[in-house]
Amino acid sequence: LNFLDERLNANYRYSLIRVREYAESVAFYGGEKVEGFKLTQRFKGVIENVWNIVHRSLKFQGFNFIVSQVAVIFPFILQAPRFFTGQLTLGGMIQTAQAFGSLQDNLSFFRTAYDDFAGFKAVLDRLTEFMDAVHEAEELPHPEVVQKGDEVLLSNVTISTPAGRVLVKNLGFEVQPGEALLIRGPSGSGKTTILRTVAGLWPYAEGNITCPKDEALFLSQKPYLPEGHLIDVLYYPFHAPDNAREDAIKVLEEVNLGHLIHRIDEVNNWMHILSLGEQQRVAFGRMLLTKPKVVFLDEATSAMDEGLEYYMYRLIRERLPELRLISVGHRSTLLSHHTHILNLSADTSWFMQSCEEALKEASDAAWSRGNATCATQPEG
């Protein structure tokens, strides 16, 4: 019951935190009643288990109370016949009762400490499950990511799902300084999983991976902004230098966040203060300040309009001309900001092509559709 109490309380707290984190989305959907019902059900589980603990404790403590009280008078009952017949003095009977009490106290340790043992067992069970999960994670295969200068190279890399389904087979590509690779493909083809594999976060992969992890920056669709000063958020995951204020202000202006300059020393939870588009621009500012050798963008401009997206990509290409850039995205407007494309398919196959070829194919396809539309229109 104690172990179940810890689990139910943890699940309930997690549900509360999750609702707080997604409160705006819940409000837009009008899901207050559904979330309230779910929280109420989880809370009922907590209360029911507490009552079970109370009932069990009452039985246990009641039993201990009865045994303790009976143990006080039990030696007097046993010695009463001898006392009344004169075979035992009052002092002898008291001495017998005291000896029995000492023996009873020593033998009652496990009975009185049972509740503590139950609590210890609940903690041990939780820690044992945690250690088992750690060991299972350690036993997973971990593809080695080799660091060789600022080289980015994948050779014969096969990526699978935890269930064993192959996503990409024998993947290989290299990104030179100043080049930009765009990864495209249908949903579920493994685009984001490739980035996780290169970062060493995806264990279900094998092959040869070379990447300067210590000089690489990964920007996801929803950036992580730690609580604290805005200037520290801009330099994350590094500490802001003592003379960083001027550079940080300049970068905020460059990424169209000049309205935040007066709040650069403010401490806040910026993930709740800034919109998703502003958070993504903060991530681009982080890129300009930390100057990584390699950047991985996982739909990092999804909350920006096409004009702002164009400006951001042009900004980093101008400010960091030697940057190796690898992006995941669906917009056709991304083609003009990259030099090569990695096209993934749903059947584990893939092929590379230059962005010039892709733009020409897109232009020819649009021209063909336009001619077909004109041909089907009736003459006036």
Q: Residue 5 has what pLDDT?
A: 83
Closest CA to 54 of 8, 18, 5, 120: 5
- Percentage of the chain modeled with pLDDT above 70: 94
Domain count, the chain: 2
Cβ partners under 8 Å of residue 157, min gap 6: 143, 168, 170, 171, 172, 197, 205, 206, 207, 208, 209
- Tell me: do 106 and 23 sit in the same domain: yes
Instruction: Please report whether residue 220 resides in a domain.
Output: yes
Instruction: Please report whether residue 197 resides in a domain.
Output: yes
- Tell me: do 150 and 135 sit in the same domain: no
- Tell me: do 82 and 204 sit in the same domain: no
- Tell me: do 64 and 213 sit in the same domain: no
CA dihedral over 198, 203, 209, 211, signed as positive or negative: positive
Residue 214 belongs to domain with CATH number:
3.40.50.300
pLDDT class for 201, splitting at 50, 70, 90?
A: confident
- Tell me: do 158 and 73 sit in the same domain: no
**Phi, psi values for residue 145, rounded to 5°:** -100, 110
b (16+ CB within 10 A) / e for 228-249: ebbbbbbbbeeebeeebeebbb
* 120 has a pLDDT exceeding 90: no
- Tell me: do 169 and 119 sit in the same domain: no
- Tell me: do 61 and 98 sit in the same domain: yes
75: containing domain: 2-139
Measured distance CA(377)–CA(380) in Å, rounded = 9
Q: Pick left, alpha or beta for residue 340 (phi over 0 → left; psi -120 to 50 → alpha; otherwise beta).
A: beta
Residue 84, CA atoms < 13 Å, CB-side half-sphere: 6
Measured distance CA(351)–CA(342) in Å, rounded = 6
Instruction: Please report whether residue 376 resides in a domain.
Output: no
* Tokens standing for residue 226: 């730690």
- pLDDT tens-place string over residues 296-346: 999 899 889 989 999 999 999 999 999 999 999 888 888 888 999 999 998
- pLDDT tens-place string over residues 254-313: 999 999 999 998 899 898 889 999 999 999 999 999 999 999 999 899 889 989 999 999
Of 98, 121, 139, which one is at a domain's C-terminal end? Answer: 139
Of 92, 109, 139, which one is at a domain's C-terminal end? Answer: 139
Instruction: Please report whether residue 374 resides in a domain.
Output: no
Instruction: Please report whether residue 242 resides in a domain.
Output: yes
Instruction: Please report whether residue 380 resides in a domain.
Output: no
Instruction: Please report whether residue 377 resides in a domain.
Output: no
* 67 has a pLDDT exceeding 90: no
- Tell me: do 128 and 181 sit in the same domain: no
* 246 has a pLDDT exceeding 50: yes
Residue 139 in 3-state DSSP?
helix
Instruction: Please report whether residue 259 resides in a domain.
Output: yes
pLDDT class for 88, splitting at 50, 70, 90?
A: confident
